Amino acid sequence: MSYDFPATAAFVAVTSISGIPSSIDASMPYSLLGSVLPTNASSQGIVWTVTNDGTTGATITGNTLNTTAPGTLTVLATIANGTAVGTPYTAIFTITANAVPGIYWTAASNPFSSAILNITYGNGRFVAVGDYGKMAHSTDGITWTAVFDSTFPSDMYGDIYGIVYGGSAGQEKFVAVGLNGRMAYSTNGITWTAVSNSTFVLDISGIVYGGSAGQEKFVAVGKSGRMAYSTDGITWTAVPNSTFSSEIRNIAYGNGRFVAVGSNGRMAHSTDGINWTAVANSTFVVSTICSIVYGGSAGQEKFVAVGLNGRIAYSP
């Protein structure tokens, strides 16, 4: 009698690992899903370790690579019995972790010693504003220079709450707003001129530039339901009826419409910034609406408003 015994499978050594990128996004977890070649190699399990984290703060849990900062790192892949029985296969990979805008942040030195309340960009320059009439400007957002004279008082009555850049072609300028109805404008963000009559008596809390083609204007909002508009940022006209009776906290423009928000859950909208209609139901009930913005991907743009008590609402 004869017996047939199964043949022992021939050992197939690992020759390489593919699918490991040369660069990843810093501060974002990345799965190291390497492919073992040949695909019929006898051993397939990869164990990953960081051999040099550089400046990245890299760590690996299982096959997930985590970094905390940009830089270059190296990782070691080990496959037990990958080269031969009792001999592992190893490979080293160099990976660059790139800084991702909006995710990785670096502190910048600045000339402010108190709160910085707002910032905008225009004419090749960032301009930041804050408490005690302070302003600073920067061409790169990294190195900042204090504005010598913002025209706002350098005391507790000089807080600057808002700033925007806008204007018709060739007439663009920065306009800043703040406590006690004060406004100032500048074409370059460095040299400022006070607006002689903003039409506001109390604080101005927000400002925006927008409008349909040929009808663009600055619109500012503030306490006691006051609003004003200007085509040049210098000469201002009070809005006769904002529909608000208390503070208006902020304003945005998008999709052919201005939308203002404020205390007691109030909102109002306008196509021209002059004639306003109250929003019937903002969903905020009586909670203060603190801010509003317009944005979104193509075809999905919307207004989003936020306020006290953790409330958020969007339109449309």
Let me know whether 287 and 224 are in one domain: yes
User: How many domains is the chain partitioned into structurally?
Assistant: 2
Check pLDDT > 60 for residue 300: yes
Domain membership of residue 54 (yes or no) is: yes
Domain membership of residue 6 (yes or no) is: no
Is the bond into 29 cis (omega within 30 degrees of 0)?
Answer: no
Predicted confidence (pLDDT) per residue in 117-137, tens digit: 999 999 999 999 999 999 999
Residues contacting 80, CB < 8 A, separation 6+: 43, 45, 47, 88
Check pLDDT > 50 for residue 64: yes
Predicted confidence (pLDDT) per residue in 177-193, tens digit: 999 999 999 999 999 99
Helix (DSSP H) and strand (DSSP E) numbers for the chain: 0, 28
Q: What is the extent of the structural domain holding 70?
A: 16-98
Let me know whether 164 and 36 are in one domain: no
Q: Tell me, what CATH number does 90's domain have?
A: 2.60.40.1080
Check pLDDT > 80 for residue 266: yes
Residues contacting 131, CB < 8 A, separation 6+: 114, 115, 117, 156, 158, 159, 160
> Which of 98, 128, 151 is the endpoint of a domain?
98
Domain membership of residue 229 (yes or no) is: yes
CA 4 to chain centre: 71
Let me know whether 86 and 203 are in one domain: no
Residues contacting 279, CB < 8 A, separation 6+: 259, 266, 267, 268, 269
Q: What are phi and psi of 66, to 5 degrees?
A: -120, 140
Domain membership of residue 142 (yes or no) is: yes
Check pLDDT > 60 for residue 3: no
Distances (CA, A) of 46 to 12, 14, 36, 50: 16, 11, 8, 13
Let me know whether 136 and 67 are in one domain: no
Q: Tell me, what CATH number does 283's domain have?
A: 2.130.10.10
Cβ-based neighbour number of residue 109 at 10 Å: 8
Let me know whether 62 and 131 are in one domain: no
Let me know whether 199 and 79 are in one domain: no
Let me know whether 202 and 309 are in one domain: yes
DSSP-assigned letter for residue 310:
G
What sign does the CA torsion over 253, 257, 262, 265 have? negative
Let me know whether 50 and 130 are in one domain: no
Let me know whether 159 and 60 are in one domain: no
Say what the pLDDT of residue 242 is. 98
Question: Among 56, 80, 76, 50, which Cα is nearest to 68's?
Answer: 56
Domain membership of residue 80 (yes or no) is: yes
Residue 4 banded pLDDT, cuts 50, 70, 90: low
> Which of 98, 124, 142 is the endpoint of a domain?
98
Predicted confidence (pLDDT) per residue in 156-169, tens digit: 999 999 999 999 99
Residue 5 banded pLDDT, cuts 50, 70, 90: very low
Let me know whether 137 and 86 are in one domain: no
Domain membership of residue 183 (yes or no) is: yes
Let me know whether 122 and 269 are in one domain: yes
Let me know whether 139 and 65 are in one domain: no
**What is the rounded average pLDDT for all residues in the chain?**
95
Domain membership of residue 189 (yes or no) is: yes
Q: For the whole model, what pTM was predicted?
A: 0.83
- Helix (H) or strand (E) holding 179, with range, is none
Which tokens hold the place of 36?
A: 């073992």
